[in-house]
Structure 1
């Protein structure tokens, strides 16, 4: 497995996202001192033939915990900060954010940009137990959604249903929200532990995965949530992020505080496809590249961003029909 590495000394990675427009471009949200104190840095990186190069970096006065690219403008991205702010950044020219919105009372741990055509919305999830929906100008939030009884760690738009997003919380629930009605449509007691991440299947509007402090990934069919479709065990510590493959309906990846990234096919009797152990600290950020089949990007508290294609997906055996 060939891996390209970008090293960012004193910057501990929390989140990565591949550009929806530029195939070799990645953003990484990072923090000093493991995000417990100090400043944050937003990095824009390009994969090259020989490695990974820095395109742009910005400093922020507090830790940065998540990042999302605009789905409408290749130059824009939003980051969520430990000071309760969302910042809108422009890769093209500005040294300071285009706009800063600070409505959350505590850390913004999750930001996501809607992928549905004609629906240019952002969602943020915070340790203040609220999720907020924004227009891309970030002038002020359009709505604030309350219902979780714990910290919100993850907020992800449905790629299928307009005005719908899922959230995962320290209260052990996965929730599905209807923005137009400003209401929670479904609350799933998904784990008996804090849930740190959730993601939607790209091929089925009813399938959502959750990753939790109990070391398990659960795959849920929202039409029947009495028990998970699949429960994936193997990680030794909390699961920090889960991501569905954009290339296969039943393949997903998870990264963990056990320093590993694991790849799964929940349709198989033996779902674990591969365990990648190439970090020396918590692995916090994870994304699939939409442009390069089965390429993965991750980031860790070990001050590295890594770009690679895991062997289990490189064989060409995976397809959208599996």
Structure 2
């Protein structure tokens, strides 16, 4: 089944509405089945064997529990997922979610900071069959048509003009506020209160008022002390409103929230042990004063804000080239890193001083652009690369070379055991394709197994059969 059968979103007028079938047959490609010379289908594994002339990829919908696409006009190369009030651990369809994203348009004046509310997101045919198996009732053709109409995905979009391309956006909740921290090409880090946009995407009346009053986004607070642009930024998960930001000149600044919720005290003494651009930052999920950083100088450093300006732990040659992204495991003392060398490395902070990772994976054929541990399973993580692939991994699967944990989990993708495919590590769960120039991925913190990815070609929202 091709992606032409999938639901897609596209921009229309002032909002986002469901659009018809996609014209691309190669969207949403995972470890797909490819038809060989004998007419039989076979599994296509990126990087193992190139496509031959005349061969094409088709999405195997049975490999997904859910799959949707959307576009926002200008590409959003960074986004974050906002927690909603619908509860944690929800898996029943239809699903809904809130995203905050920033555009990178061709012209500075054309950029937007936006809130997306996606809802009425239903599962694929596989998920539908599983639901049908649980129910013995049969529906008529007329009922099926009505059901199809009711399953159209919907999205509300509230956009605020923002001068300058947005490099990275991260969101947090502080008391009754929902805040977005934005790194932009202006060389400033800005904080925005998202309340007007959130009200707009939940109420047609509020949306009408929002559209009438729409003007350039006004920051609640901004900081120009970096003196250059940057990409690294992260909110503390333990201290509401605490922030850390890093720039392309190697400096890191810590932000401390002040009473009133509209200002921050920023330490003018930067954390400055890196020698080149700081690419990513991550707060510890268990220690309120500790964060990690990675850099173009090939190092990963761990800092304690009580002892500036030097890091307390460092792996100086963690990768052979630029380290682009890191992710801190929420329950285990592990850091995950991805670099320009295409490598994914898992670091045990208890052994960090040795400078040796506990696991290294080479599956992507281009620089790693995003990594993130699953919030639902401490052994699972996802990564994206400039090779247009999103990979899913499970460290609980044991191999001869890598022993992080052990269990009897079977690794499958598209009903094909990964262990049976030559050259693939057993920890590899799934390979998802179909987007061009993937920049960032995030697991949904409240909906287990759901991944959202953004690329030049738009957003994918999906859940595979593997997680």
> TM-score category by the smaller chain?
0.7 to 0.9
Does residue 145 (structure 1) correspond to residue 215 (structure 2)? The answer is: no
Alignment of 1:283-322 (within 5 A): 283-310=368-395, 312-315=403-406
Match of 1:255 among 338, 341, 352: 338
Larger Rg: 2
Provide Cα deviations, 1:256-305, integer angstroms capped at 9, x if missing partner: 11111111012214341111111011111111111122210111111111
Q: Confirm whether residue 209 of structure 1 aligns to residue 292 of structure 2.
A: yes
Whether 1:61 and 2:73 are equivalent positions in the alignment is yes
2:112 to 85, 92, 99: 85
Which residue does 2:240 correspond to in 1? 162
C-alpha separation between the residues in 1 aligned to 2:362 and 2:371? 14
- Partner residue in 2 for 1:198: 281
Cα distance change, pair 173–97 in 1 and its aligned pair in 2 (3 A): farther
Q: Which runs of 5+ in 1 are unaligned?
A: 1-7, 12-47, 317-322
- Which of the residues 200, 218, 225 maps onto 2:308? 225
| Residue correspondences, number | 270
More strand by share: 1
Trace 1:4-19 onto structure 2 (pairs within 5 A): none
Distance 1:131 1:211 in 2: 19
Q: Is residue 172 from structure 1 mapped to residue 250 from structure 2 by the alignment? A: yes
Q: How many angstroms does 1:124 deviate by?
A: 1.3
Q: 1:129 to 1:54 in 2, by over 3 A?
A: farther
Change over 3 Å in CA distance of 1:172–1:9 after alignment to 2: farther
Question: Is this contact kept in 1: 2:280–2:326, CA < 8 A?
Answer: yes
CA distance in 2, matches of 1:287, 1:231: 21
Which one has a larger percent helix, Structure 1 or Structure 2? 2
Contact 1:280 1:302 in 2 (8 A): yes
Q: Using the alignment, how far apart are the partners of 1:138 and 1:238 within structure 2? A: 39
Q: Which runs of 5+ in 2 are unaligned?
A: 1-24, 29-60, 86-95, 106-110, 121-152, 198-216, 398-402, 408-467
Cα pair 2:270 2:309 within 8 Å, conserved: no
Pairwise CA distance, 1:137: 3.5
Q: What secondary structure, in the 3-state scheme, does the structure 2 residue paired with 1:114 have?
A: strand
Distance 1:102 1:224 in 2: 39
| Cα displacement string for residues 68-103 of structure 1 (whole angstroms, at most 9, x for unaligned residues) | 111225510112221343221122167665211232
